[in-house]
Amino acid sequence: MRRPNGAWLGTYSSVGATLVDQAVAAFRKRHPGVELSLLDAGRDELVQDVRTGELDVAAVFDFPALGLRVVDEGLESRPLLDEPHDLLLRPDHRLARKKNVTMADLRDEDWLFPALGPDSPTQRLFAAAGYEPRVVFRVNDCEMLRALVATGVGVGFTGAAEVFFGLLEQYAAAYPTLQGPARV
């Protein structure tokens, strides 16, 4: 993987499409002689690749409410932002007009989960709520998640950065969840 005059950066898709893309563009402009390579992957893979030296740096998330913290995994971290994770629903979904949506309200939903492995933060949310979600698809691509929600295939969680950067307007509505933010 290593290149003599290069650097490897890893990210997960939602932050890759909202923050890392801008950082990569700025880096390439300031350092045109440095070849920058980018890997889009799940959190656990990115952490492992930094640990083994396959990646030089990675944008990953901590989710303290679920016990996920990079510093606990023996790596140094620099917080970029606190990003709440929001529930993504179609605007005409039965819960879309509800002011507060709880995990109990979501028990019977078809879910779109990230393909982050067997112990993803999303799965831990449901374990804490006391039930097993009905997962109909696993997707890591934000565009695919938004499209599947927009067509009524299921519901899912998305990072609030996507809401902030206006990436959801034509697809679905996002509603804040009760869980604490993830730190990117």
- Per the structure block, which two tokens stand in for 41? 């992957």
- Per the structure block, which two tokens stand in for 50? 């930094």
How many angstroms separate the CA atoms of 98 and 32, rounded?
A: 50
Q: Are 57 and 9 in contact (CB under 8 A)?
A: yes
User: What is the residue-averaged pLDDT of the chain?
Assistant: 76
Q: Residue 97 domain-assigned?
A: yes
Q: Residue 1 domain-assigned?
A: no
Which residue segment(s) compose the domain that 97 sits in?
82-183
What is the tally of structural domains in the chain? 2
What is the share, in percent, of the chain residues with pLDDT greater than 70?
71
Task: State pLDDT tens for residues 90-140.
Answer: 888 898 888 788 888 999 999 988 765 545 566 677 888 899 999 999 887
Cβ neighbours around 97 below 10 Å, total? 11
Q: Within this chain, do residues 115 and 169 fall inside the same structural domain, yes or no? A: yes
Q: Within this chain, do residues 44 and 103 fall inside the same structural domain, yes or no? A: no
CATH number at 66 reads 3.40.190.10
Q: Within this chain, do residues 23 and 105 fall inside the same structural domain, yes or no? A: no
Q: Is 104 exposed, middle or buried (0-12, 13-18, 19+ CB in 10 A)?
A: exposed
Task: State pLDDT tens for residues 143-173.
Answer: 788 889 889 999 988 765 554 444 444 444 4
Q: Within this chain, do residues 56 and 98 fall inside the same structural domain, yes or no? A: no
How many angstroms separate the CA atoms of 21 and 157, rounded?
A: 21
Which helix (H) or strand (E) segment is 122 a member of?
Answer: helix 121-129
Least confident segment among 48-57, 74-83, 101-110, 144-153: 74-83
